[in-house]
Amino acid sequence: MKFDTPAGRNPIDELKVVGKPTDRIDGPFKTTGRAQYAYDWYDPKSKAAYGYVIGATIAKGRINAMDLSAAKAAPGILAIVTAENAGPLDKGKLNAAKLLGGPEIEHYHQAIALVVAETFEQARAAAALVRVDYTETKGAFDLAAVKDTGKPEKLASAPSDTSIGDFEGAFSAAPIQLDATYTTPDHAHAMMEPHASIASWDGDSLTVWTSNQMIDWGTRDLALTLRMPKEKVRLISPFVGGGFGGKLFLRSEAVMAALGARAAKRPVKVALTRPLTFNNTVHRPATIQRIRLGATPDGTITAIGHESWSGNLPGGKPEAAVQQTRLLYAGANRMTQTRLAMLDLPEGNSMRAPGEAPGLMVLEIAMDEMAERIGIDPVEFRIRNDTQVDPEKPERRFSQRSLVECLRQGAAKFGWDKRIAKPGQVHEGRWLVGMGVASAFRNNINVKSGARVRLDDRGVVTVETDMTDIGTGSYTIIGQTAAEMMGLTLDKVVVRLGDSAFPVSSGSGGQFGANSSTSGVYAACVKLREAVARALGVNSDDAVFTDGYVRSGNRSVPLADAAKAGELVAEDTIEFGGDLSKTYQQSTFGAHFVEVGVDTSTAEIRVRRMLAVCAAGRILNPKSARSQVIGGMTMGVGAALMEELAVDTRRGFFVNHDLAGYEVPVHADIPHQEVVFLDETDPISSPMKAKGVGELGICGVAAAVANAVYNATGIRVRDYPVTLDKLIDQMPDAA
């Protein structure tokens, strides 16, 4: 099905099931332990062996020799896989880092061997007996030290640099100016479920039970890596215990499991240890960002410039931290630049809201700093510089843009009028109290997505698609879509996900999964409705599907009757018209409000209140959407106050590579979080009239926290995370 513009009666608009706050249909499986994650799968006919990945202990250099003799003689050992005996692999451009290293080493903890044994303990013990002789070479591990070597690098679908008007001239002439540099550190995907896979061969066909967000990408890349036909590879991933972008791509554990299973001639299961999850897989790269703003005394931005530097392995991409600045605020004279420097750290890649999350961490502090210089309320400053068109391409209007409404509703609900603009004025016992605000922005992306739907003679509809549920509620919103389209209650719908044997979906990532995958289900259900109408001899154009019946004219027939002669099956794919993007800019918007307390003696920061107001098209399931937003808000608190991968700039690795050293928020760190969704539909976006919301929740939160800390203390921190050591020497006298 082609989707260009909305047309005709849309069954989704009935909103009998879609749009309702619905419990997750997969909830009972997860709460009772019946949900089988990647490492849980087993074949009773063929007991799985265990693989243990050995990671390189240098960051850059070469393996001279590997002594495997002691490991091979250890109890229970079935096979040891290295680059020398793995067979021909495609180590080309699939990933910035080779998934099996040797003899060249590209980063610390790059996988260099897999030890396969009868038990996990035997594999781990034997891995400790492997002796590796390296030649270590000098690497680049410090972004600040190599920043000036950075070169322009195109973003995913946009140029590295943009320039509109005369930025330098306008900035120089601006009566009020801000020129500030900020830094954000490397961040880890600290998901609960590690990267895990079980591989099993049947002749020349491979099945991998894995934890992966994008089934079709993974199937394609694994087939390419192993140099085998894609149709011979099957990936299965019905439940994913968190991904955040770290499981978008094929990673070493899946490749190693496949190689280990081939060598051991039996299924092999591999899970990366937590240190390898941090150093072997991808992370959010650190950035250095410079913001320049010029404005008039009435608060009109006349010049806006944003430059960003980040690092990555050769072949990697930069952090696209400038992309929201190209769209968020008006300003006639504009400039953005992205520079990529080569670093020999583990690969930097997508992490929840890549680009916008670290970009807004910086831009939204700068907006607060500028508002203070002008002497204008920071909410009003943002509203005053709203735009309804793409500032770089004024011929493109936003399909929906409710940023001003988000800011106004949020300010009223949060009690923003009680905020005292002068910092350090509100005391509650030993606490200094402050409020902060930030805009939220994330582009809306539409991705081609397919599904298959089946109707049986019980009136049950089964949906099959390779879409994944990474804890986001995909099962439920897909079930709701099919139920709405076919006039059923949710208990009459079965949803099957995460299998490459099913039609290719959008997958889960980039905030595009919910809108795109449900649109694919919508398209398949349109075809199924047509098949039902033919089977029942009614006109599909005026047929009404409701309460398990199909009504047309004076006829009312049970839906199940259409499948009496046999199951009806329909399959289709939604494809989004490319011309829409020339006319409309599709984005999501929000506003974050935060109140913090800062201890006058210790500079400890406690988040006291949080509010998010979101405008993201039709909200398909407010219950799971709220869960997604508060998850993003929680990650934003982590980014603001604690999360930082500490880099050993001598040896080139992340030192705090476990959940003891890498701090993330826990329940005690997070207060009650309130989420408001504006009543909005976007017919330009899709037949669902929805947009993504899962990444919008993190965008801007860290800046809102940092701005609240400033309002509480008068101390402006431009180097994330905002930890107490950066405050305590400057804290105002408690008296």
Question: pLDDT tens across 463-501, in order?
Answer: 999 999 999 999 999 999 999 999 999 999 999 999 999
Secondary structure of residue 92 in the 3-state scheme: coil
Choose which CATH entry (3.30.365.10, 3.20.20.70, 3.40.30.120, 3.40.50.2300) describes domain 2-31+446-578: 3.30.365.10
Q: Is the pLDDT of residue 734 over 60?
A: no
Residue 695 appears among annotated catalytic residues: yes
499-512 pLDDT tens trace: 999 999 999 999 99
- Quick one: pLDDT at residue 83? 96
86-142 pLDDT tens trace: 998 986 655 546 899 999 999 999 999 999 999 999 999 999 999 999 999 999 999
Q: Give the mean pLDDT of the chain.
A: 96
- Quick one: pLDDT at residue 541? 86
- Quick one: pLDDT at residue 540? 87
Distance CA 351, CA 247 (A): 9
Region 599-624: what's the mean pLDDT?
98
Secondary structure of residue 718 in the 3-state scheme: coil
Catalytic residue among 347, 364, 571, 695: 695
Q: Judge contact between 695 and 354, C-beta under 8 A.
A: no
> Which run of H or of E encompasses 383?
helix 378-384
Same fold for the pair 2-31+446-578 and 46-138+192-242+247-281: yes
State in Å, rounded, how far the first CA of the chain is from the last one: 68
Domain 284-444+586-730 class, CATH top level: alpha beta
Of 567, 535, 565, nearest in space to 454 by CA: 567
- Quick one: pLDDT at residue 95? 54
> Which run of H or of E encompasses 705?
helix 701-713
Region 180-204: what's the mean pLDDT?
97
Q: Judge contact between 46 and 266, C-beta under 8 A.
A: yes
Distance CA 64, CA 56 (A): 12
- Quick one: pLDDT at residue 3? 83
- Quick one: pLDDT at residue 45? 80
pTM: 0.97
537-580 pLDDT tens trace: 999 889 999 999 999 999 999 999 999 999 999 999 999 977 78
Q: Judge contact between 617 and 400, C-beta under 8 A.
A: yes
- Quick one: pLDDT at residue 96? 47
Q: Is the pLDDT of residue 5 over 70?
A: no
Domain assignments of the chain as residue spans, ordered by start: 2-31+446-578, 46-138+192-242+247-281, 284-444+586-730
33-75 pLDDT tens trace: 999 999 999 877 889 999 999 999 999 999 999 999 999 999 9
Region 366-377: what's the mean pLDDT?
98
Query: How is 198-213 classified by DSSP, letter by letter?
Result: EEEEETTEEEEEE--S
- Quick one: pLDDT at residue 529? 98
- Quick one: pLDDT at residue 735? 43
Region 179-183: what's the mean pLDDT?
98
Distance CA 326, CA 359 (A): 11
Q: Is the pLDDT of residue 678 over 70?
A: yes
Q: Does domain 46-138+192-242+247-281 have CATH number 2.40.50.140?
A: no
Residue carrying structure tokens 């960002």: 289
